[in-house]
Amino acid sequence: MTLRALELFSGLGGWRYALGELGSVVAAYDISPAANAAYELNHGERPHARELATLPAECLKAHGTDTWLLSPPCQPFCRMGNRQGLADPRCKAFLRLMAIFEEAPPKQLVLENVEGFLGSDAHALLIATLDRHGLHTQEYRLCPTQFGLPNQRPRVFVLASKRRLPHDPPPGLKPGPLAPFLDSEEDASLYLGAAVLARHKPGLDLVRSQDHRTACFIGGYGQRYVGSGSFLVTERGIRRFSTREVARLLGLPEAFRFPENTPQEKRYKLLGNGLSIPVARWVVQQLEG
């Protein structure tokens, strides 16, 4: 089976990396110019820069796809967000997609989100919609640490298919040390100064190169300290992880890069929104049975 996929809320194109030779992304959609520029640089095609909340159904229908791969904004369901669910304006695009689904349901769908999505009104709407159209569903709570990566990023995946889906356990690999994920040449500007350390050090999640874990890197990692991701302790001091190191911990290919004019904070933001590629790949493989 070769999937013909729509990548919705495409960001850096994590689903496209995950899909690999299992299929092709026929079209991608994202409103962010920075995400779309990075997507184009790495995947050779520019996503449609469209607001999904007002997208006419015909636009999606015209692509003739069988699979939707989507990662809607997670803030309405985040521990640190307001948890308004569907009442949050950032859910308008998801609501629109559910309406388009009614008109033109794909044969398969995979949705990724934060754990708070489970049990939300958006989750209930999704499951009811999938059921009504006779799709079988399967749900997974997965973390890259189960896939051998030293990075915590717990996420929920909802899979749906016209065919019955397996419920395989994830690989259950043990994460190795951080050392192989670190840059061979450090960027000195990543080190935290004395004033920042005096203020924030007690709350920082500190790790060393021999440790086997990092905390989840969130979009605000480039500007924030406490609760935004891990900081590395070296002989020289305490530093942020570089964007390349975060990309490696997400399982993005070594060839992945940002357009040169993408500001550092934006890079962290895009990565913080991104997918763990080995986890997403395993999930897509489940569609194959």
Ligand X SMILES: C[S@@+](CC[C@H](N)C(=O)[O-])C[C@H]1O[C@@H](n2cnc3c(N)ncnc32)[C@H](O)[C@@H]1O
The residues assigned a catalytic role are 74
Report in angstroms how near the CB of residue 189 gets to ligand X at its nearest.
25
Whole-angstrom Cα distance, residue 76 to residue 237?
36
Quick check: 77 binds ligand X (CB under 6 A)?
no
Cα distance from N-terminal residue to C-terminal residue, the chain: 10
* Nearest distance in Å: CB 220, ligand X: 14
Q: Segment 26-65, which members bind ligand X (CB under 6 A)?
A: 29-32, 35, 51-53
Interface with ligand X (CB under 6 A), residue from 37, 216, 275, 284: 275
11: contact with ligand X by CB under 6 A: yes
| Distance of alpha carbon 158 from alpha carbon 136, whole angstroms | 10
Q: What is the DSSP string of 58-112?
A: HHHHTT--SEEEE----GGG-TTS---GGGSGGGHHHHHHHHHHHHS--SEEEEE
With beta carbons less than 8 A apart as the criterion, state whether 210 and 265 touch.
Answer: no
Q: Which is nearer to ligand X, 232 or 278 (CB)?
A: 278
* Residue position matching structure tokens 């190169």: 209
Which of 232/279 has CB closer to ligand X?
Answer: 279
Residues in the interface with ligand X (CB under 6 A) total 22
Coil/strand/helix, residue 53: helix
Q: Minimal distance in Å, beta carbon 126 to ligand X?
A: 16
Is 81 a binding residue for ligand X by CB under 6 A? The answer is no
Looking at the Cβ atoms of 71 and 214, the one nearer to ligand X is: 71
State the nearest-atom distance from the C-beta of 51 to ligand X, in Å. Answer: 5
What's the closest the beta carbon of residue 274 comes to ligand X, in angstroms? 4
Q: Does 95 bind ligand X (CB under 6 A)?
A: no
Q: How many CA atoms lie within 13 A of 210 on its CB side?
A: 0
Identify whether the C-beta of residue 7 lies closer than 8 Å to the C-beta of residue 27. yes
**Contact with ligand X (CB under 6 A) among 14, 23, 85, 105:** 14
Q: d(Cα 182, Cα 215) in Å, to the nearest integer?
A: 15
Chain residues that interact with ligand X, rule: CB under 6 A: 9-15, 29-32, 35, 51-53, 71, 73-74, 93, 273-275
